[in-house]
Amino acid sequence: MSTIDQCVFCKLITLTRGHHIIPKSKGGTTIVPTCETCESFIHKTWTHNELRDMYNNVETVLDNEKFQKFLNWRLKQPTTVIFKSSSGKFRDKNKYH
């Protein structure tokens, strides 16, 4: 369910939805408000295993160089812009990783 809130990643006040920091399929229970744009970038960039093992909190995602480049672009866009990329554009193609 979407609500107006502040995205924990880009800090914009916009429509957000609950995002599991560690994917629910990997045992995650912590949910944070995340805009569709940031959530889409996160899931297009890292696998569920990478999110569970390496990017398992807001700070590690924010500290990542790829995310910082994305964030610099994101903050120049109107809040109504929604980022969508082709599936797995930046992710490792090995689905068993």
> Could you tell me the maximum CA-CA distance found in the chain, to the nearest angstrom?
37
| DSSP strands (E only) in 27-85 | 31-35
Is the pTM for the entire model greater than 0.85? no
| Residues 56/25/10/57 CA torsion (nearest 10 deg) | -10
pLDDT digits (tens, 9 = 90+) for 54-96: 999 999 999 999 999 999 999 998 877 787 766 555 555 554 4
CA distances from 2 to 5, 7, 19, 89 (A): 9, 12, 11, 25
- Cβ(32)–Cβ(3) under 8 Å? no
What pLDDT does residue 97 have?
41
What pLDDT does residue 75 have?
92
